[in-house]
A and B are shown apart, each in its own frame.
Chain A
């Protein structure tokens, strides 16, 4: 597979922290989080594989191109609209969560709206770019971030304060039945491949995902699962982790780099996640914009020969972003994230139905 495909997958894995995944998992730690994680790990890999195989059948075609060709108009319209809405919400959750984080930790004196507006301003520029440029941006930022992610992870695993007993204690809850919200939350990590709905347009060469690729994704994904769930428990304590609002942010504050320019890992972590959540929203909203553009294009809305439709969508994105940032509380946000992740898992069943239909009609 093309290397850019892996970036799409990895961004979701790393960005799970700002999508409330650890919080949801940890709140289910006595209610079968581990079994849920194992289930969603395999389920997620299967999803990822199926989705990629499907798109491999149609090199250079995005989902809207396929629905338009093979499905009736009304169905195509509804499906693409719903999909784009899903992607929008996915981006929105990351955006709002990270705005809250910035407000709480990095720029506490700045008004929340301004933080979000800054975020949105740069995002608007980004999502209007060509898909290709989006991929280049993702690659560069991700490659810059990787060393830091690596160092922080290493630091977390080697910290003397990491108490293995707490982690083992959480393992002792393996005899509980899995819970649906925990499965839904953790599967988010492996859903990055679905961004192919748009980005497959760029993958024009014929290629097939093979078992080596899947092994690679599985390996990294498994590592992320373990890290995202167990490190906060090991650092913050099995019972004490319960009341922490942002488990990973607090965990990063328990790490200390004695011999680095910045002593508190928290700040490296925040800046790192600023970049990563930016990428995450960039990907999701770029997909949203492209999906919307494929179904709604107002030919008459032009100004000096320039079509304004994308800008109209951007305005809507801004409104949605600012509205939700000002109206949501942290707890509502986590609640809604959980609902959304539940919905996401269900919606993929529908998505696969769609894939199946297209595949049957295309006869490939």
Chain B
């Protein structure tokens, strides 16, 4: 602050420099206020500043208060007052929606942002039956407010920094100081400092930027829009990253099992949630191995299953022109297309797409003997099982893994399938998320497992 204080010429120069920097923009406003011996100057960008608030907080009191000193004291007492560190910082803040007030040889920077995107959205990505129905907004201040409202603890720390060489978005790092794993926190901070992206638009982009391995299949951070999940993870010692303009947060470190949990698991009664979890893991398993298993069982080891099954598979394959793995691949790819189409299409058309694709295509494919009946059942089962995985990113990853397993089992039958599964397991086991092992079985309590990172 001392940099610019008490020097009339200096203030003049700064204001000139600022307006020079922003100049060609139409929405730059330079407004001197003058009455009696009171004198002040305002500089701001019209489109990002809340005009009503400006009027209410700055302009009106200026004319009502007795003299310069009163106005200055009043402005200094406002909660919106920001610290000034450098000229460049002022410039940056102006673009974000702050107002510069020059009064009595002093520059004051007031945060009077106008945010149009602070309405809280409904949960779209991770719906649950129980639990809060509202998620986050696209404004970081609102989001921090929402989280703080659910987590009343002085040890909750919010650190902010700018990210993006061009966009300079605010990134907030939230953690509970008491439970957070310090190595993880340091490693995240260091990585955030070391990356220099041009633009960052979504929290999920951070997932990729913070991953050491550039080509990675599995997400090592978890994206969520649910405040209850955020709070649950904060209490569990995780670090939350919030990005301005994004209505999702990312949590780190994340382990494989996090992606298989739904917040409903917290709310239901014991046996029900256990059953649902079991169902979910069964779904995961089924959608991973079913296509591969079909190929292995029809083309390599038909003697493994019962004779009745073997005969009915053989019967339903009569007339199918291609080998089993082409048949599976064909239908799986179409199923993937269907899934992809229903994501990208406008909501109104999605229903039609699924009907046309699922019912008509499937029916016609068996009629035309392009695929066997049993294959259609399997593809259907696989599709449904994929949707059971609660977190989207994991379900996307699993969709890819499925094809790899299919390849292995087309090349080596049941043995290939099993090798593929073990390979997948090894891949997961050697991953780590900010120093925490990505895939390990948690048998003991969570604390002992994470503290004992040495073993």
Contacts and interface: CB of A to CB of B under 8 A. Distances in A.
Complex A–B touching at CB under 8 A: yes
Interface of A: 2-4, 60, 102, 106-107, 110, 115, 118-119, 122, 125-126, 129-130, 132-137, 139-141, 143, 202-205, 261-264, 267, 271, 274-275, 278
Contacts of B430: 129-130, 133
B429 A133 contact: yes
B415 A102 contact: yes
9 contacts: A3-B443, A106-B413, A106-B414, A107-B413, A133-B429, A135-B455, A140-B429, A141-B425, A267-B414
Interface in B428-455: 429-430, 437, 439-441, 443, 452, 454-455
A129 B454 contact: no
Given A136-B440, A140-B439, A267-B304, A275 B429 contact: no
A143 B441 contact: yes
Contact of B415 (A107, A134, A202, A203): A107
Interface residues on B, range: 20 to 34
B322 to A, nearest CB: 20
- Give me the 4 closest cross-chain CB pairs, A-B, nearest first: A136-B429, A133-B430, A204-B454, A133-B429
B305 interface: yes
B305 A262 contact: yes
B455 A106 contact: no
A interface secondary structure, majority: helix
Given A139-B441, A203-B455, A267-B303, 4 more contacts: A106-B413, A106-B414, A141-B425, A267-B304
Interface string B204-237: 0000000000000000000000000000000000
Contacts of A115: 412, 415
B426 interface: yes
A148 to B, nearest CB: 12
B380 interface: no
Contacts of B132: none
Contacts of B419: 118-119, 122, 274, 278
B344 interface: no
Contacts of A4: 455
Contact of A262 (B304, B437, B440): B304
Contacts of B454: 60, 202-205
A118 B414 CA distance: 13
A136 B304 contact: no
Contacts of A263: 305-306
Interface in B384-419: 412-416, 418-419
A275 B426 contact: no
Interface string B88-117: 000000000000000000000000000000
Given A2-B455, A203-B455, A262-B305, A129 B418 contact: no
B429 A137 contact: yes
Contacts of B452: 205
B300 interface: yes
A122 B429 CA distance: 14
Contacts of B306: 261, 263
A274 B426 contact: no
A118 B441 contact: no
Contacts of B413: 106-107
A136 B413 CA distance: 26
A2 B416 CA distance: 33
Nearest to B408: A118
B412 A122 contact: no
Nearest to B411: A118
B423 interface: yes
Contacts of A125: 423, 426
A3 to B, nearest CB: 7
A129 B431 CA distance: 10
Contacts of A102: 415
